[in-house]
């Protein structure tokens, strides 16, 4: 299984910097990469395609993701690429990073729409609700 290169940095699109800053400043998420990873999971569950054209803004090294989450994301990203017929977009670790971030950006944009007008506690409540609806418990 292909793994993310710890020397590579995750990135987000320029247009989402303001939003991700807002959510980290008000304490909804501890870090901007946490929003990106949640966006990735949301997009996979919603069967969304990766974002296409955007200006990238680097966030943090992939080594900043805890090991269990990183491994899960890597495995799911490759599985999802196969599911969507995009196996050729995850041939190298660089491509894998591009794919994960592209999916993550799409997911964050969807979440931004979903959370419009919501405050921190409402967003956190929504995440927990998503979790409750997706997980077997």
What mask of x and - would describe binding to other proteins in positions 93 to 112, judged by CB under 8 A?
--------------------
Least Å distance between CB 123 and other proteins? 10
- Kindly state the tokens that stand for 36: 């990106």
By CB under 8 A, the count of residues binding other proteins is: 37
- 84-107 CB burial, b ≥16 within 10 A, e <16: beeeebbeebebbbbbbbbbbbbb
Among 13, 42, 62, 106, interactor with other proteins by CB under 8 A: 42
Residues 53-82, interacting with other proteins (CB under 8 A): 68-69, 71-73, 75-76, 78-80, 82
- Name the strand (E) or helix (H) holding 41: helix 32-45
Contacts of 55 (CB under 8 A, 6+ apart): 13, 14, 15
Least Å distance between CB 7 and other proteins? 19
Contact 13, 105 (CB under 8 A): yes
- Name the strand (E) or helix (H) holding 11: strand 9-13
Between 55 and 135, CB nearer to other proteins: 135
Distance CA 129, CA 27 (A): 18
Among 20, 41, 62, 106, interactor with other proteins by CB under 8 A: 41
By CB under 8 A, residue 5 contacts other proteins: no
Provide the binding-site residues for other proteins, judged by CB under 8 A: 1-2, 29-30, 34, 37-38, 40-42, 44-45, 68-69, 71-73, 75-76, 78-80, 82, 87, 91, 124-125, 127-132, 134-137
């Amino acid at each position: 299984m292909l793994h993310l290169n710890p020397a590579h940095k995750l990135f987000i699109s320029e247009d989402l910097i303001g939003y991700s800053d807002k959510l980290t400043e008000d304490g909804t998420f501890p870090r901007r990469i946490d929003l990106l990873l949640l966006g990735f999971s949301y997009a996979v569950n919603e069967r969304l395609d990766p974002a296409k054209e955007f200006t990238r803004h680097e966030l943090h090294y992939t080594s900043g993701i805890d090991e269990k989450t990183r491994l899960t994301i890597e495995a799911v990203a490759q599985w999802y690429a196969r599911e969507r017929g995009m196996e050729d977009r995850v041939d190298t670790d660089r491509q894998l990073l591009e794919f994960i971030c592209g999916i993550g950006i799409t997911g964050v944009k969807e979440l931004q729409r979903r959370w419009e007008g919501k405050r921190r506690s409402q967003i956190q409540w929504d995440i927990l609700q998503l979790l409750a609806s997706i997980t077997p418990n």
